[in-house]
Amino acid sequence: MKNRYLLQLLLCGVMLYYAIPRLDVYASGAEGIFAISWVVFALLVLSGSLLGLLYSPKTDLRQKKADQHSNKITKKKSVRSYS
C-alpha cells in the first residue's frame, strides 16, 4: 500500500517540476484560470498522497508479526509431537 503512495508522490512531484515553469499563473482569462486550477489540483493530490502515507494504519505490521509468531509456535509443536 505504501508503494502506491510513494509512486503517486513521485509522479505528482515530477509533473509539478515539469509543469510549474510552463504554466503562466498571472495570465488573464481561461489560461490563468486553468493554470491556477491545475496547480491547486496537483497540490491536493500531493497532500492526499502524503497524508495517506503518513497516516497509514500500522496494524499490518502487528498482524504480520503475530502470524510469524504463531507459525513459529506451530512449527515447534509439530517437531515435538510423537504421533
Q: If you ran DSSP here, which 8-state letter would residue 39 be given?
A: H
pLDDT at 59: 60
At 67, which amino acid appears?
D
Q: Regarding predicted confidence, which is higher, 81 or 46?
A: 46
Residues 44, 46, 51, CA angle at the centre, nearest 5°? 95
C-alpha cell at 62: 502487528
* Per-residue model confidence as pLDDT tens digits over 35-73: 999 999 999 999 999 999 888 776 656 666 666 666 666
Q: Residues 32, 24: contact at Cβ < 8 Å?
A: yes
Of the listed ranges 15-19, 20-24, 41-45, 76-80, the one predicted with least confidence: 76-80
Percent of the chain with pLDDT over 90: 54
Question: CB neighbours (10 Å) of residue 12?
Answer: 19
pLDDT of residue 41: 95
pLDDT at 74: 60
